[in-house]
Structure 1
Amino acid sequence: MSTLNGTTFNDINRNGIFDAGDVALPNVTVFLDTNGNGSPEALEQVRVTDINGFYSFPNLAAGNFLVGQIVPPGFTRTTLATPVTLTGAADATTVNIANTGAVAPVVVPSLTGNISGAVFVDNNLQGLYNYAYDDKGNLVTYNNTNVYDVNGNLVVNPNGFSSQTQVYDPLVDATLPRVPVYIDLNNDGFLNANEPRTLSNEAGFYNFNALPAGSYLLRIAQPADKVDGAISILGDVQTTNTPLVVDVFAGSTTNKVDLGLVVPNSVYGKVINDRNGNGVPEANEPGINGITVFLDSNGNNVFDLGEKSTVSAADGAYIIKGLNTNVGQESNATLAQNPYLAYQLLVDPLSVAKTFPVTSVPPTTAYVRTSPTPGATIDAPVIPGGSAQANFLYTFAQTPTAVLRDSITGFVFNDLNSDGILQPGEPNQAGVQVYLDFNNNGKRDNDTSLVEPASVTDASGSFGFFNLTTPGDYIVRTTSSGKFPTTAIPNVILGSGQAAQLAIGVSGVQPKPAINEKTLIPVPGVQVVAQNPFLPNTGFPVV
């Protein structure tokens, strides 16, 4: 069964993310709005947020859920109430609810204080999180302004990464969501039932509110503590600066209590769908599943047998572990003979760190990498026992080379309700064979007399046919065991130098009435002039 949880908060900086400086809202009524009327009804599940603004709905079956909220007085809800699709598996989905108001809520009694901070990947093992600031000096996670590090160096600008830091996200050290943090009241190193605990939010920040003044010992929970909703890689990480003793003073918040984690000797990051093609990761851009990321040890930009690799997960995240970062520090004899190496390892380990050439395999030929540039590798420096971040951004049909002349590209989606309409929550379908039916006989011919081109959809559901003869007509069909077409059969009419994009629906349930596969729907091509960006008027035509 699935769990749906989250935090209601006062979005002080109005960026829609629960991050540093925002304040949790306790005692707020949250409910599963089954009928969508905005009010809790008798049969709807209702929760009241705790002192940390947290709510949870466990044991939910598969389906779509709408999280409603009774807006606190003086506030306006700014997070849109949109349906959330749960699988019914043993997983957790977080929906934080942002509220803004002219007056900040009173959540800190006069005799209590708060703790807040980030849980971050401590790449350089120094135990310090690299906060970033905008050009007005305000603390930010990321937005479309100039972003500077704590030393005043430009990290990123609205047009993309600066050349010095193109490898990394604006914060360099990534924050981690869903990491369990707790206050170890008896200092036994274990999370006990009576000890306050919380999970870092999707931006990697956490807080404890309304604590009596005093000193507290903060730790990160271990896998053996079995915290619901915790991040899956918890068993691989090591802490770099915990436990931490934190002093809390009445009527104030102790900020920047940042907790470092690292997967030793690793390169990690995300493969991101760069929807607007600007080469910068943004909050509304999802990860890409199933992408091979590898160390290009021979520099040929091809994934070869024996090269260390991994595959991105559903959220686009990947990690390559077990790198050989030894530069001599593992040998006492080497260090004794090279005192300068010992000094460098102590004061500036990055100067002697090994670099690892990281690159990725494109999802399909219809995708173009926007960061780093196509064909480039990221030389990720990893200090002994540390880690480095390397992200890859791809765009589909947003750059001059993404859509070529004389091509048909698109994606196949899983039409869950068999209505022939692409709707929110309907995922793209991998592993579907799409082919060009030259003789319109309803099957793919593949023999000595006729070989009809075929393209199998990748992990993101995409397919493509290129270098087609134009002008010409092309009937596009799918073959997938147990799947029925739910959209009309397209007859793509390409003129010279034109291209077309399609969204094709399939379903495990045959639509009623069934699609007449002998009836063809004409889809005209669109001219691609001098390889300009291909931008359909309203997106992909669902045919």
Structure 2
Amino acid sequence: QGVDFGNPFPNPIFFADGVTQQTVSIPIFDDSIIDGNKTVNLSLTNNVTGDAIIGQPATATLNILDNEVPLPPIANPDTANITQGDPPITINVLANDQGESLEIIGFDNFSQAGNNVTIDGINNQIIYSLAPGFTTTQPFTDTFNYTISDNNPNTLDSTSTVRVVVNPQPEFPGSISGNIFNDINLNGLFDSGETGLGDITVFLDINQNDTLDPNEPQATRDGFGFYSFSNLLPGNYTVRTISPQPNATLTTAAEFPVSLSSSQNVNDVNFGYSIANSGTLQFSNPTFSVTENDTVATVTINRTDGSDGVVSANINLSSETATQGVDFGNPFPNPIFFADGVTQQTVSIPIFDDSIIDGNKTVNLSLTNNVTGDAIIGQPATATLNILDNEVPLPPIANPDTANITQGDPPITINVLANDQGESLEIIGFDNFSQAGNNVTIDGINNQIIYSLAPGFTTTQPFTDTFNYTISDNNPNTLDSTSTVRVVVNPQPEFPGSISGNIFNDINLNGLFDSGETGLGDITVFLDINQNDTLDPNEPQAIRNGFGFYSFSNLLPGNYTVRTISPQPNATLTTAAEFPVSLSSGQNVNDINFGYSIANSGTLQFSNPSFSVRENETFATVTVIRTGGNDGGVSANINLSNGTATQDIDYGNPVPQTIFFADDQTEQTINIPIVNDDSVENTETVNLSLSNVTGGANIGQPATLQIIDDDELLPPPQPFITRVLGFDGEFNNFNDVESVPVTPPQDPPNLRFSDNTVALVSRNEIGGQGRFDGTPSNNTVIAYDIPNRELGFELDAIVIDLAEVIGQIGEIESGNLAFDYASPNRSHNVRFFNENRQDIGQGATLSPTIPVPGQPNNFSNFSRQSISIPGDTRFISIGSESTEIGIDNLQLTLQPEI
């Protein structure tokens, strides 16, 4: 406004009666600047005359069209970058162009790499996309043209070129890995349970000649079949394997082509091999048997864990108890051959019969390791051939046996067969009629007899026990045989033992020797042989160490009674008086303890060697304590004797004179009267002692009582006198009087007044008014206008706080309060309070003063008042009704405490 347009006219707009349309003219200002079109906002206001209202539209826009010729738009070349594989990019071509209100209106889309050049109409930008599948290994520059317009029919559109640099995708290394495995089921897959092969070579066949050349990389292997190639750039590879094992046959392809992209990890490129297995040769059993009258013994050899190919092995025979050429001949066939797939063969060994009863004999068999093929020798690699004798043997003969056992020993083993005759003997029974034995059993594994003593069996002399046993050779053609075993049972040897324990002071009376309880060294312990509870001359006494420990040594096994006797009349047992002890051979029985409760009346003594009391105290309190024991009731007399103090002049008789301690009681107190006088004396002493102790208690050391004189001659402190507080010239009329400095010995403390205190200036003075008639030399007094609610009081009075003065001079012993007052209408009270705001002293009553004729309510005639201040005063209150008293010329005289 004022540059592009002026004020509208007419304004306001008037519509005559019946008129329905009016026009308004707005001045428009032309310029020579190309500044584009401009707008003005128009609106109708609501200050309408008449009853018309504002309708819609109530606002409008005026467009001022620029009449200068604009510059044409200029499209400038642009550049952009994109990487192969990136999503579409946005190119803001207008940012580099010139013109007003520019808009992209077209493009030629003749790019070589781009799939689609489109216009983002919302943001007025170009979107550029790479064609699907487009690849490049070098940076590639793509171009297209675009056209812009400013939508002005008077200007020409403009076209320019965009150059897009397409960068190749960066390459990252990848890897190839897999497993070389024993393909047991020949299906070409690495199945569960199939194991890796660690000695197979895997390489990258770069030149495709199926051979591992010096420059071709080999895989890293872990020794368990896993291999890997790492840090491989993108490309095409051929992974190939070579096996050094002649019995390894591939069950998968010998090579795999792998196309590796950037950062790709290709796994599970697996190679399977079938490993030929000739198996393991071993005897079918560790033992073979044949009867001597059989012609041939047949021995079986098994082939396990594989049956590939033809294999063979030799069987070797060696004599154990049988003799080659006498009892057996050479095996046949030997060597033994297994055709491909055959898993079992038998060997025949000739057996030679004789007519001699020579018992069973054995031949050792073994397979040697000169095996053909790839088979190995397994287990059992050896076996035994038993040649059983077929002649009738002699019957078994059981012979008598002997054994020894000592009472208390564990069960013993008796090898009865060692003394017997026959072949393949076995114990088959016994009669178990032993007298000392609890159980005669057969050890079936070792073919022996186990003999045990009955529990509780004892003997003092060697004792012979017997039982019978029966043997057999398990031949139905022979009879069993029975014989006797004699077992000598020896008595257990006796070794001496000991009994020991402690005699102790059982403080807590629980019958146990607890930590902290001490031994008693003067108690007798003996073995009560005849059970008469008395120490007889022939009965042994324990050895004692003087600290409560006792012991009996070199005691033979047997039953003993350990008993104690105390010589102390005050010792009471807290445990049993005797203990039965059953002592076995070599046994040491400890902790047979006897507890006593030792009555101890203790020692009576003063709690301190010296006591003190001031002369002005009524009593001296003296404490007597009981230490070292508190058993039973005890008593003692208190004896006082003059030191430098005199009985009945400085002190009186103790109360009580005899002190009593009940059982367990450990402390008593005595009061000794103290006589106060006014004489200045030195500290005086009284001798204290105990006597006539009862109940077995002991007496400790005497003590001294010091009586300290309180009559010291100290000069009293100087009284503290405030200045006369006239208040003249210090306050204006109706000023609050909160604190007033007074004359001090050092820094000036203040008298603090309650907040209701005000100054009254005489109405005869400039600024003065009210009820006070003063003189030029006495023109200001204090009064109060409302009851006091400060300083912790609720009084209808002025309250004066002496805290600062007391802080200077100390607590007040006494004093005087003097002041002038005028109160024509009523009397008032003066009161004193301590720091706890408690009423103290007598206080005073102020009588009404005589009014001046014609001025019955004025503060005109003043009366002088002097009142004693009691000790410990902190607060002073003056008055009984607000506005009814005036106070002037106030002065305090305070006597500090000594």
Tell me which interval the TM-score lies in, with the shorter structure as reference length: under 0.3
Structure 1-normalised TM-score? 0.19
As a proportion of its length, which structure holds more strand?
2
Larger-gyration structure (1/2) = 2
Structure 2-normalised TM-score? 0.11
